[in-house]
């Protein structure tokens, strides 16, 4: 239902990444007037592949954008139909094999147009669903303050000296969010920490791997090569022609404890990684890993940061956070983007509710926080525990028995969460409080 003519409030989203743009589409589809302000010159994401689990797929389907995402990728259908865990060490023993039923399949896709041809882009598929006239580029938000004329409205200030007035602001400006500091009242990096983990990212041609004699078939779904203090996640994209590689190395000594906020790569979080360095990190791994890494032509090195300590609230007055700005987490469940999509989906249902209006936005956001923060934090914590399992520090040990015990049902709460149930409970709460 398009209620745009009846809504008496306007939303401004800061940040047009995956979560900001999905949130904008969800709000617009609910008839909420929404503009997106992005600091870059276009909707663009740096990175390689992204894996989206069944919870993300359900949201994209619910928004009516999933078929376009599939159409923009070269995969005709969900391609994440298995998740195998294999020892990274010689012999490459299978530790745990998790063939996924149809309803649990996900998709691995390239993120953006900048990496390869536009036909593979995730963001490109989303862009087609958002009114271009509502997307504003080169708009780096520097502050959000109450309007002098009407203190219940908010004024966004941008680095280019311009301003924009809205009734509600959503910070979707990623892990180094500016809006977060406005919500918390603390500097943005007060809730930012190094996770103790470095990720090397690369794309490798499957044909080349076959020619080099790789024994493990990497085209059938996700594979995790597990080892002590390091693991490698690989999955097919681009119709199985390309293998997305994310190789993790964790500082086991813990001499950079989580929480101290130090950046191990200086101010640079992402930089090029020399191939020798990548190979040297996996010297103890077996022949398939040596083959895989020898085929890497170009790799980047990411210092994985997280939102930590967790925020006490995602909301302050009429300002709310979604996605990484609220809860950037380790990558081990492939759940970060999905949690941001869930934020936007819930928010769009609450703000798009026929009873949401300019007078009750603060109460609506409080309920959003109450629903989303425990859920996202639960996944944040599970993600940390999952990394420990992959790297030989799980409670049941580094063995097929240990992996089976620790990983069976590990994704249930990520993938099978009843998000619509959350929305219904939130609406009921607002009704019982007399807000709706």
Chain residues in the site for ligand FAD (CB under 6 A): 14-20, 37-40, 45, 50-51, 139-141, 172-174, 178, 199, 201, 246, 302, 304, 323-324, 331, 334-338, 340
- Which residues are CB-contacts of 108 (< 8 A; sequence separation ≥ 6)? 49, 50, 51, 52, 75, 79, 80, 222, 235, 236, 237, 244
- Using the minimum distance from each CB to ligand FAD, give the nearer residue, 50 or 169: 50
- Using the minimum distance from each CB to ligand FAD, give the nearer residue, 109 or 435: 109
- Using the minimum distance from each CB to ligand FAD, give the nearer residue, 112 or 366: 112
- Residue where the block lists tokens 């990720």: 199
Q: Are strands 135-136 and 270-273 parallel, antiparallel or unpaired?
A: unpaired
Is the separation of the CB atoms in 183 and 174 below 8 Å? no
DSSP state of 4: T
- Using the minimum distance from each CB to ligand FAD, give the nearer residue, 286 or 344: 344
Beta carbon of residue 431, minimum distance to ligand FAD (angstroms, whole number): 30
Beta carbon of residue 13, minimum distance to ligand FAD (angstroms, whole number): 9
Q: Which residue is nearest to ligand FAD (CB)?
A: 17
**Dist CA 93 CA 389 (whole Å):** 16
**Dist CA 35 CA 17 (whole Å):** 14
In DSSP terms, which residues pair with 236 in a beta bridge?
243
DSSP state of 101: P
Beta carbon of residue 45, minimum distance to ligand FAD (angstroms, whole number): 6
Beta carbon of residue 248, minimum distance to ligand FAD (angstroms, whole number): 8
- Using the minimum distance from each CB to ligand FAD, give the nearer residue, 10 or 140: 140
Beta carbon of residue 316, minimum distance to ligand FAD (angstroms, whole number): 16
- Using the minimum distance from each CB to ligand FAD, give the nearer residue, 154 or 435: 154
- Using the minimum distance from each CB to ligand FAD, give the nearer residue, 227 or 323: 323
Beta carbon of residue 349, minimum distance to ligand FAD (angstroms, whole number): 19
Beta carbon of residue 38, minimum distance to ligand FAD (angstroms, whole number): 5
- Using the minimum distance from each CB to ligand FAD, give the nearer residue, 19 or 311: 19
Beta carbon of residue 173, minimum distance to ligand FAD (angstroms, whole number): 4
**Dist CA 238 CA 119 (whole Å):** 10
Q: How far is CA 352 from CA 37, 153, 357, in A?
A: 20, 19, 9
Is the separation of the CB atoms in 38 and 15 below 8 Å? yes
Beta carbon of residue 174, minimum distance to ligand FAD (angstroms, whole number): 3
Is the separation of the CB atoms in 169 and 163 below 8 Å? no
Is the separation of the CB atoms in 23 and 348 below 8 Å? yes
CA-wise closest residue to 386 among 192, 250, 207, 189: 250
- Using the minimum distance from each CB to ligand FAD, give the nearer residue, 140 or 220: 140
CA-wise closest residue to 237 among 119, 61, 127: 119
Q: What are phi and psi of 384, to 5 degrees?
A: -65, -45
272 by Cβ neighbours in 10 Å (0-12 / 13-18 / 19+) ranks as exposed
**Dist CA 345 CA 22 (whole Å):** 8
Quick count: other Cβ atoms within 10 Å of Cβ 280?
Answer: 10
- Using the minimum distance from each CB to ligand FAD, give the nearer residue, 20 or 54: 20
| Alpha helix ranges (H) inside 90-178 | 122-127
Beta carbon of residue 179, minimum distance to ligand FAD (angstroms, whole number): 7
């Amino acid at each position: 239902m398009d209620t745009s003519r009846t809504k008496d409030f306007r939303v401004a989203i800061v940040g047009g990444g995956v979560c900001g743009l999905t949130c904008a589409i969800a709000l617009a589809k609910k008839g909420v007037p929404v503009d997106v302000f992005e600091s870059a010159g276009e909707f663009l994401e740096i990175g390689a592949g992204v894996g989206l689990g069944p919870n993300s797929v359900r949201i994209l389907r619910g928004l009516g954008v999933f078929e376009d995402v599939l159409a923009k990728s070269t995969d005709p259908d969900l391609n994440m139909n298995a998740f195998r865990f294999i020892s990274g060490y010689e012999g490459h023993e299978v530790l745990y094999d998790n063939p996924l039923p149809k309803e649990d399949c996900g998709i691995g896709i390239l993120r953006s147009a900048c990496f390869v041809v536009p036909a593979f882009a995730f963001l490109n598929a989303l862009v087609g669903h958002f009114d271009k006239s509502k997307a504003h580029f080169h708009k780096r938000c520097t502050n959000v303050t109450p309007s002098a004329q009407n203190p219940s409205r908010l004024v966004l200030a941008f680095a280019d000296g311009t301003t924009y007035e809205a009734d509600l602001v959503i910070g979707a400006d990623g892990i180094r969010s500016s809006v977060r500091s406005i919500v918390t009242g603390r500097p943005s990096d007060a809730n930012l920490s190094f996770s103790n983990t470095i990720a090397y990212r690369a794309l490798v041609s499957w044909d080349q791997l076959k020619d080099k004699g790789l024994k493990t078939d990497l085209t059938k779904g996700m594979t995790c090569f597990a080892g002590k203090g390091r693991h490698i996640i690989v999955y097919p994209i681009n119709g199985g022609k390309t293998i997305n590689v994310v190789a993790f190395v964790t500082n086991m000594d813990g001499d950079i404890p989580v929480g101290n906020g130090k950046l191990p790569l200086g101010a640079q979080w992402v930089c090029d990684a020399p191939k020798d360095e990548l190979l040297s990190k996996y010297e103890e791994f077996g022949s398939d890993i040596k083959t895989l890494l020898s085929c890497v032509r170009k790799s980047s090195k990411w210092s994985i940061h997280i939102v930590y300590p967790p925020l006490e609230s995602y909301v302050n007055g009429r300002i709310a956070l979604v996605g990484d700005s609220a809860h950037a987490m380790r990558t081990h469940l492939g759940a970060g983007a999905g949690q941001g999509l869930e934020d936007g989906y819930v928010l769009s249902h609450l703000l798009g509710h026929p009873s949401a209006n300019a007078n009750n936005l603060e109460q609506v956001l409080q309920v959003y926080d109450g629903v989303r923060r425990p859920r996202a934090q639960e996944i944040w914590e599970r993600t940390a525990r999952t990394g420990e399992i992959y790297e030989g520090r799980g409670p049941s040990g580094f063995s097929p028995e240990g992996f089976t015990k620790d990983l069976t049902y590990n994704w249930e709460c990520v993938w099978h969460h009843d998000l619509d149930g959350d929305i219904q409970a939130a609406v009921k709460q607002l009704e019982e409080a007399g807000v709706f």
